[in-house]
Amino acid sequence: MATSLDIRGIAKDYAVDGNVLHVLTGINLSIEEGEFVSLVGASGCGKSTLLRLLVGLEKDFRGDIRLDGKCIAGPGLERGIVFQEARLLPWLNVEQNIATALLNAPIGEAEKRERIAHHIALVRLNGFEKALPRQLSGGMAQRVAIARALVNRPRVLLLDEPFGALDALTRSHLQDQLLEIWATEKITAIFVTHDVEEAVYLSDRVVVMAPRPGRIRRVIDIDLPRPRDRGDPDYARLRAHVLNELTSASEPAAVSA
Amino acid sequence: MSRNVSTIRKVRRGLVLPALVLLGWWGIFAADLADPRIVASISDVWRYGAQMVGSGELWGDIGASLGRNLLGFAIGVAAGLVLAVLLSLSAWARLAVAPTIDALKNVSAFAWVPLIAIWFGLGEGSRLFFIAFATFFPVYFNAMEGIGGVPRDWLELGRVYGFSRRQAVTRIILPAALPSIFTGLYVGLIMSWMVTLGVEYMLTATRGVGHLLLDGRDNFRMDQVILGVLVVGLIGFALHAIADAVERRVLKWRGSSAAAQVL
């Protein structure tokens, strides 16, 4: 498969009270087309910052990010993003919220309507087209956010702890729905989470990051057949492996290594 | 259901005091305790009111006051909103202009009356200027606060979807600031009605409810004065109700009302 997203030599610093804080350093990662990759790590490891760089929301960094060979400079409709909070505009209904993503899309009105309807069906919200955000549950709101992120038919779907604020049952339903969508849309997905279980269940590869400075500690292949069985011993073994990498990454001793 | 019952109860309890006032008003006339040079009886006020309505004079006064109120209000709203949007788009302009406006708000609108009266005369233009001036401040400050309080997360959404500056203003910033803007419109409407009466006194108008009141005082017509007070109150009440209804409709997505917070 072809490389979709190529991340080379990324480094990003913040100046805090005159001290330089290395948020990210030496990040190299190639992601193939259609691949599902998770970024896991303790808070402060820069995983969300890395995702924001991929979205194009942070401009001040070193290294380069190429999508299909082209350098990323700012946000673009070929990348969809789902944030931790649904970020729906409360005065717009479900349909209108999804339509905001298409405001500047180079397609006609009929095509826009057709795509919105298609994506509402994709996240199974038929019948809620006219509902306002305050009438939706957290899980439904996040499904609207997913539909909004996909409606431009992006090449890459970026997700920043999208299920972090949901209850366990809703979360596991949405994980399965996301996998279904990922399979049908054949999209490249990059998923930030601090939940090892979630990362192993969803991903082809799990990137374990370490904090201070934020860097990649290990990339672990999850070569389990899909659909995955959470009770499978291989699954448990890989989960323990990722967890082990993650905990040793967080220990201060690991920094000097 | 229980909410309805308690609402009825609240209304009933709220009506007790006005009922007592009416009863007292009626009582002092029934007991022949009142000096008609100081206060008119309910029946006198009623009779005078009916006569003024019948002759159409009252509508003329109300029309004159409401017309200048709403025109001045509209000018003040336009100025306040346009300035708030412009300043929110440019940090440079904000730093240059906002402190002066902050300082000006401390001078009561009425303090400018003598100056403006001398410069621009006692005409309708000066009256409208004051009403607009008084409306401007609450509209401007609330709009600034609303625009400044738009969550960064929402603005980021606009960046992600390639919104132009104009799209960001019309699709995110203004709708998000609308609850605050409404609070400003609401306060502005109340202020503008107060100032309308004020300028009708100070920059003497020949028509209007303020003129009705002044004329009543000058001729010791207490029925006319009390009618004027009642009309002012009723119009204020109606303006509230209209603003409330409009806000409820426009901000349906929010499910509460700025009017409830202001009052």
pLDDT higher than threshold 90 for residue B33: no
- Inform me whether the C-beta atom of residue A81 falls under 8 Å from chain B C-beta atoms: yes
The predicted structure's pLDDT at residue B4: 61
Q: Please state the ipTM of this predicted complex.
A: 0.87
Mean pLDDT, rounded, of chain A = 91
What's the average model confidence in pLDDT over A194-202?
95
The predicted structure's pLDDT at residue B5: 65
Task: Mark which residues 37-66 of B lie under 8 Å from A by CB.
Answer: none
The predicted structure's pLDDT at residue B262: 46
Domain ranges of chain A: 3-256
Pick the CATH number of B40-262 from 3.40.50.720, 1.10.3720.10, 3.30.1280.10, 3.30.1360.10: 1.10.3720.10
Distance from CA of A148 to the nearest CA of B (A): 10
CATH architecture assigned to A3-256: 3-Layer(aba) Sandwich (3.40)
State pLDDT tens for residues B117-133: 888 888 888 999 999 99
pLDDT > 90 in chain A, percent: 82
Q: If pLDDT is split at 50, 70 and 90, which confidence band does B247 have? A: confident
- Inform me whether the C-beta atom of residue B176 falls under 8 Å from chain A C-beta atoms: yes
The predicted structure's pLDDT at residue A201: 96
The predicted structure's pLDDT at residue B255: 66
**Best residue in B154, B160, B256 for a mutation probing chain A (most A CBs within 10 Å):** B160
Q: If pLDDT is split at 50, 70 and 90, which confidence band does B261 have? A: very low
Q: Is there a contact between A90 and B253 if contact means CB atoms under 8 Å apart?
A: yes
pLDDT > 70 in chain A, percent: 96
Whether A142 and A86 have beta carbons less than 8 Å apart is answered as yes
Domain ranges of chain B: 1-34, 40-262
State pLDDT tens for residues A155-170: 999 999 999 989 999 9
Q: If pLDDT is split at 50, 70 and 90, which confidence band does B260 have? A: very low
The amino acid at residue A219 is V
**Of the listed ranges A107-121, A152-166, B110-124, the one predicted with least confidence:** B110-124
- Exposed, middle or buried, B66 (CB in 10 Å: 0-12/13-18/19+)? middle
Distance from CA of B161 to the nearest CA of A (A): 5
Report the SS3 class of residue B151.
coil
What's the average model confidence in pLDDT over A192-202?
95
**Of the listed ranges B38-42, B127-131, B193-197, the one predicted with least confidence:** B38-42
Tell me the CA distances in angstroms from A103 to A25, A107, B168, one per residue in order: 36, 10, 11
Contacts of B153 in chain A (CB under 8 A): 83, 85, 87
Q: Is there a contact between A100 and B175 if contact means CB atoms under 8 Å apart?
A: no
Mean pLDDT, rounded, of chain B = 88
The predicted structure's pLDDT at residue B207: 87
**Best residue in A91, A132, A150, A158 for a mutation probing chain B (most B CBs within 10 Å):** A91
pLDDT higher than threshold 80 for residue B174: yes
Name the token pair of A13.
């610093």
Q: Is there a contact between A90 and B255 if contact means CB atoms under 8 Å apart?
A: no
- Inform me whether the C-beta atom of residue A91 falls under 8 Å from chain B C-beta atoms: yes
pLDDT > 90 in chain B, percent: 52
The predicted structure's pLDDT at residue A139: 93
Name the token pair of A77.
């409709």
Q: Model pTM?
A: 0.82
